[in-house]
């Protein structure tokens, strides 16, 4: 937990903006809501993916149909990594969006 509070917020803000851009530019019909540090992506079929910042733990949390996942920022790779599986956020999101919305999106930069 070496991230300062300011750096953590900057990283989460940048990540959420990148996510919004990816979804906005996709072929998916989604509703995006970003409020109080929580980004909710609502798919056409009613399923959701929710990203929230957990400031005390300096983690980014992801809630999806398949479960809840916690990500720590890895300074070396400059990526959010799942604290259980070591999977990168972008890799996991690619799989989750395919499962929930039946469309492949590129989350390479995450």
CB 44 within 8 A of CB 31: no
pLDDT value at position 109? 80
Blockwise average pLDDT, block size 10, the chain, 110 residues: 87 95 91 94 96 96 97 95 96 95 89
The sign of the torsion formed by the CA atoms of 34, 11, 72, 93 equals: positive
* Domains, in order of start, for the chain: 5-100 (3.30.920.10)
Is pTM, for the whole model, over 0.85? yes
pLDDT value at position 88? 96
């Amino acid at each position: 937990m070496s991230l300062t509070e300011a750096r953590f917020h900057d990283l989460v803000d940048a990540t959420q903006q990148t996510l919004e851009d990816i979804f906005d530019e996709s072929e998916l019909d989604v509703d995006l809501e970003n409020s109080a540090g929580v980004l909710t992506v609502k798919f056409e079929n009613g399923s959701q993916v929710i990203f929230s910042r957990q400031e005390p733990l300096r983690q980014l949390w992801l809630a999806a149909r398949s479960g809840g996942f916690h990500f720590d920022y890895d300074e070396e790779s400059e990526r959010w990594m799942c604290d259980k599986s070591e999977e990168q956020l972008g890799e996991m999101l690619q799989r989750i969006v395919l499962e929930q919305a039946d469309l492949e999106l590129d989350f390479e930069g995450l």
